[in-house]
Every structure is written in C-alpha cells, then in structure tokens.
Chain A
C-alpha cells in the first residue's frame, strides 16, 4: 500500500492510510472517538447520575423496609427517630461514596440488579419513572451506536472508492501522473466518493429503518424525560407543558365554535364563506 511509485502519488496514499487509521481509532472501544464524533460524554454523565439517584432511592427504600420489619418484630422499640434518621443518612452517603469508589462496571451491575427488582414503597413511582428513563436511554444509545457503525462503514467504503478512482485516473494517464494534482482535488474527489457511497446506503431499506428506529427511540427517551421533569415541576406548583396543552386545546375548541357560529350568521345574511 505504501510502495513508492516515483510518480508523486505517495502523499495521496499516505493521506488515505491516515484517514483509515483515524477510522480504526474511532472504532476502538474506550478511544476518544465517540467524543470527537459528537460524543456521548454528556449522556454518560447523565446516565451515571441517574444510576446514583436510583441507588440512593433504593437504599432509602431498603432502610424503610428494615425499619418496618424491626418494628413488626418489636426490636425497633428502643430506636429513636433520630437514630433511624442517622441510619438513613449513612445509607445515603454510603451509596454515593460507593458509587464514586466503584468502577462503572460495578455501578452498572448494581443498576441492572435494581432494574430487575419490582418497584415498591414510597418511592415506587419515582423509581419506576427513572427506571423507564434509563431503559429508554439505553435503547437510544444502542441504536445510536448501530448508526455510528453504519456511518463509519460509509467512510471506510468511501476511502476504498477513492483509492479505486485514483488508480483509474492514474491508469488513464499511463501510470505517469499521480491521479490528482493537489490536496484540494483529492478532497473534492473524496467528497464525491463519500456522497456516492452514502446515497446508496441512505436509500436502502435497512438504513431507513435504522434511522427511523433511532428517531423513535429518541422520542421515547424524550417522553420519559418529560415525565420526570413534569413531576418535579408539579412538586413546585409550576405549570407544565401538559397543562398548557390542555388550555390550548380548550381555546382551539372555543375558536372553532365561534367560527361555526360566525359562518352560520354570514350564511344567514347571504354572504360568501371561505
């Protein structure tokens, strides 16, 4: 691939190899490629935060369960509310400290375990809402990764097509010319190859389905986020989008009734109606 041809084309092949190397790096798990390509860094942070809240909620729930169990057996008689509060605080802090100390893998395992347990107790609704949010996020990230893989393949195939195009050009000139004159021409040819490859992929049923699936997953994720957000807004007696929607629907219905009445009046006067 890097064989010298003494026709001034070495730099072209070097560029293609450089692009391939970047794509290879982008495909490596744990590399910075995800961040460079639009990144999931923020979403990872949010997911981690969500997991910690889940864990904290679960610890809170477990504390209550233990307290209720001890109360039922009579062993809680000596416990004061203050002591119970201290235990709950310790559990809460322990969860956060543990989450900070443990690796992401362990946190995930714990979250997976929690996600399989039925939600219950005082935090039942919140737990369920967060759990659904995390599931939606996970689904979205999975599909996003699938789409990234397709895009990476488009770029890889574009480079292969570029290589072929340059070889063909060189052959047209009897192998004496490099195929392209300068970097700009190489870039333009690469764009042309990229669009050609992408057009073929973009029109395929599998790509159309995958892109739509990702869009639909994004919608489900947004719905879950809205649910959690609206619950918080209601807690502070702040208006929510759902409430505004109700008002807008009512206004629309009233406007339609007025328009109908106006049309009836106009018709009664023999006037033209739209």
Chain B
C-alpha cells in the first residue's frame, strides 16, 4: 500500500523489527550441522524381505536377576519411522525401558518400494508380525511374550492378539485407534469420501510425502508457519542452547522421513479400518480369519494422549469394552501424539508405567 494510513509507519517499524529477528535466526540456522538419530545400541537379529527385527542391548545398570523376564516386542506403525522410540538419549522410551530392566525388541518395517505394492494386511498381521513374535519366543525360550503396539501398529497388534491370544502374555497399546468414527476424528472425516480403490490403483504405493502434506494440513497455520517462526525467534534468544536447535532438527527429520505405504495394505487399512470401522464392529477379516477382539483375554494396558489430534482419546478409549480382558488398565497422558514419546513428562511417566505394569504381570 503506497498511501499513508494511520499506523502504517508503526507497522513498518514493528514489521522490520520482526523481520530483522527472523533474519538473525536464519543466520544462526545456517550454522547448524547434521543431527544424529538414536542412542541405544541394538542388533539386527532377524530379517524378512524389508522387515528387520532389532534387539536392544540390555542396560548394565540393572542386574540380570532384577530384569523383567518376558521380553517386550514393539510393533510400530507403518507411517513414519520407528526410531521415534529412541530419538536421542534424553528422549527415548526404549532407553527408559532398558534402564528399568525390560528386554526390548523392535520391528522396523523398512521402506516399501514399487515391488511391495501388493503387500497386504495379511502380510503384516499373518506373516511378518507372527514371524517376529515367533523369533522372540524362541530366543527367550518362552511360549508367551509381551507385545506393545504403537498407533497403527497398535491396531495391527490387536488383530494379532485376537488371532493368536495364546502367544502373548501381556498386550500394551499406545495411542492406538480402535473406533475410527468418533466425532473428533478429523482424518476419518476427510477419508470418508475418498475413492481409495482408485487412489491405490493409480498410485500404487501411497507416497509418504503426500501423507505428510495431509498431516500438516490438519493444523495448517501452526505446522506450516508458526513452528518455524518460533524456532527462528528462539534462535535469537541467547538462552536458547544448541541442543534445542538439534532437538528441533531431529524432530523435523523424523516427521518428514516417511516411508511410502504399500498400496494394497494402505487400501485395506483405509477401507476396512478407517472408512468401515470393522475393527470396532468385529467384522474385520484378515486372510479369511475374523478378528474378534473378544478373543483378547490377556492383561491389557491402553495408553493414550489427551491432546492427541491424530488419534483422539475417544478413538482409543472404547478398547476397554471391546475385549474380554479381565485385567484392563489405562494410562492417560497429558500431551499429544508425539509428546507421549519425546516430552520431558513422557520420559518420567511412560517407561515407569510400562515397566511397572509388566513387572507386576511377569512370569514368576
């Protein structure tokens, strides 16, 4: 605007000041180096196609006789990478579990490519996951192990637990969607009218970048703009440490390091779970076998985040009424879908809660 209006001079001044701070922040950002991911030592103990099963080396601070005897297998989601569970030393659920004597295994699903477009739900629930469970059972010499499912990995874990209840001692679900049709579930509303068959037929695998764009568009003002403005402002603050910048960059890497989704699996998940809500209704079939959540009788701990905008608590809470577990517990976390793994509060609460709960139900 070329005309002079009341306030325009002041506006120019505050805008310039704001832009100057942004520029200084950008200059500081330009000096940032690469970030490293992960903090705990682990070994690949089993592979099948692109799937790798890792075992984390036990913490030496815990005497072997005090460890939880039954190993814990973590089944992560297919969306995003599982290193979120061990992002860095002071933001690591896995480190917290190891320090509390839990023997931790983690499934890394890898990065599906064009050759994997026909991988289906049954490949994940009836092949990869059972093979990993069986490996851990054999390695530990125990018939039953503990399974922890995260987000979509929790939905898959519920399917597995319903089909193979005799192979699990305890089941834990974290931020896991069970009822996809609750009013707060924006992703489901957006997916409702999408022609998923046509999408997968045209795209093959579904691009991780496209999914990222979708997730970011859930809160466009905050996630496209504000968080970066916040960062640049923080960088101007002499109290801000280099570690804060590294933390930010590490999170950015994790957020946007998104594998493509195997086409058929994506089609089935979106249609059967999200659009048709079959897991909740008990009408889901995997490889011709009905998934009946009433078959889940083992102890069950359901952990959800109260400010979760991706998997709202209303989507996770119904699990308690859908299974036949006589030992059902919940843990409500004051935070969001990501904060439950990386926030300071999470580091203090979540490993404690999981390890304590497992210990109480461990093999004697």
A182, B15: Cα distance in complex, Å = 10
Whether, in the assembled complex, B63 has its beta carbon less than 8 Å from a beta carbon of chain A, the answer is no
Closest to A15 in B: B11
A135, B218: Cα distance in complex, Å = 30
Q: Decide: A203 and B203 in contact? CB cutoff 8 A.
A: no
Whether, in the assembled complex, A244 has its beta carbon less than 8 Å from a beta carbon of chain B, the answer is yes
Q: Decide: A11 and B10 in contact? CB cutoff 8 A.
A: yes
Q: Which of A14, A158, A208, A213 meets B7, CB within 8 Å?
A: A14
Q: Decide: B221 and A195 in contact? CB cutoff 8 A.
A: yes
Which chain A residues border B11 with CB–CB below 8 Å? 10-11, 14-15, 18
B6, B15, B201, B229: most-surrounded residue (chain A CB, <10 A): B6
Q: Decide: A194 and B202 in contact? CB cutoff 8 A.
A: no
Which chain B residues border A274 with CB–CB below 8 Å? 126-127, 130-131, 134
Main secondary structure, interface of B, reads: helix
Chain A interface residue count: which class? Answer: 35 or more
With A2-B5, A184-B233, A220-B198 already in contact, the answer to whether A208 and B10 are too (CB < 8 A) is no
8 A Cβ contacts from A186-211 to B:
187-188, 190-191, 194-195, 198, 202-203, 205, 208-209, 211
Q: Which of B18, B199, B226 meets A215, CB within 8 Å?
A: B199
> 1/0 contact trace for B1-34 toward A, CB 8 Å?
1000111101101110110000000000000000
Query: Among the listed stretches A54-62, A68-76, A245-253, which one makes contact with chain B, having 4 or more residues with CB under 8 Å of it?
Result: A245-253
Whether, in the assembled complex, B204 has its beta carbon less than 8 Å from a beta carbon of chain A, the answer is yes
With A2-B7, A11-B11 already in contact, the answer to whether A219 and B222 are too (CB < 8 A) is no
Q: Decide: B202 and A249 in contact? CB cutoff 8 A.
A: no
A2, A212, A244: most-surrounded residue (chain B CB, <10 A): A212
Whether, in the assembled complex, B115 has its beta carbon less than 8 Å from a beta carbon of chain A, the answer is yes
A200, B55: Cα distance in complex, Å = 45
Closest to B18 in A: A183
Q: Decide: A248 and B118 in contact? CB cutoff 8 A.
A: yes
With A195-B222, A274-B130 already in contact, the answer to whether A219 and B18 are too (CB < 8 A) is no
Q: Decide: A191 and B226 in contact? CB cutoff 8 A.
A: yes
Q: Which of B1, B8, B202, B225 meets A226, CB within 8 Å?
A: B202
Which chain A residues border B1 with CB–CB below 8 Å? 17-18, 21
With A183-B18, A191-B222, A274-B131 already in contact, the answer to whether A14 and B233 are too (CB < 8 A) is no
6 closest cross-chain pairs (CB), A and B: A10-B7, A212-B193, A11-B10, A14-B7, A274-B130, A194-B221
Instruction: Write 27 A-B pairs (CB below 8 A) sorted by A numbering.
Output: A2-B6, A2-B7, A4-B6, A10-B7, A10-B10, A10-B11, A11-B10, A11-B13, A14-B7, A14-B8, A158-B221, A183-B15, A194-B220, A195-B222, A203-B189, A205-B189, A211-B190, A212-B195, A216-B193, A216-B194, A216-B195, A216-B198, A220-B198, A245-B117, A248-B115, A249-B118, A272-B134
Q: Which residues of B contact A (CB under 8 A)?
A: 1, 5-8, 10-11, 13-15, 17-18, 114-115, 117-118, 126-127, 130-131, 134, 186, 189-195, 198-199, 201-204, 218-222, 225-226, 229, 233
- Extra contacts besides A21-B1, A187-B226 (15): CB < 8 Å: A2-B7, A11-B7, A11-B14, A13-B6, A14-B6, A14-B7, A184-B18, A194-B221, A202-B190, A209-B193, A215-B194, A215-B199, A223-B201, A248-B118, A274-B127
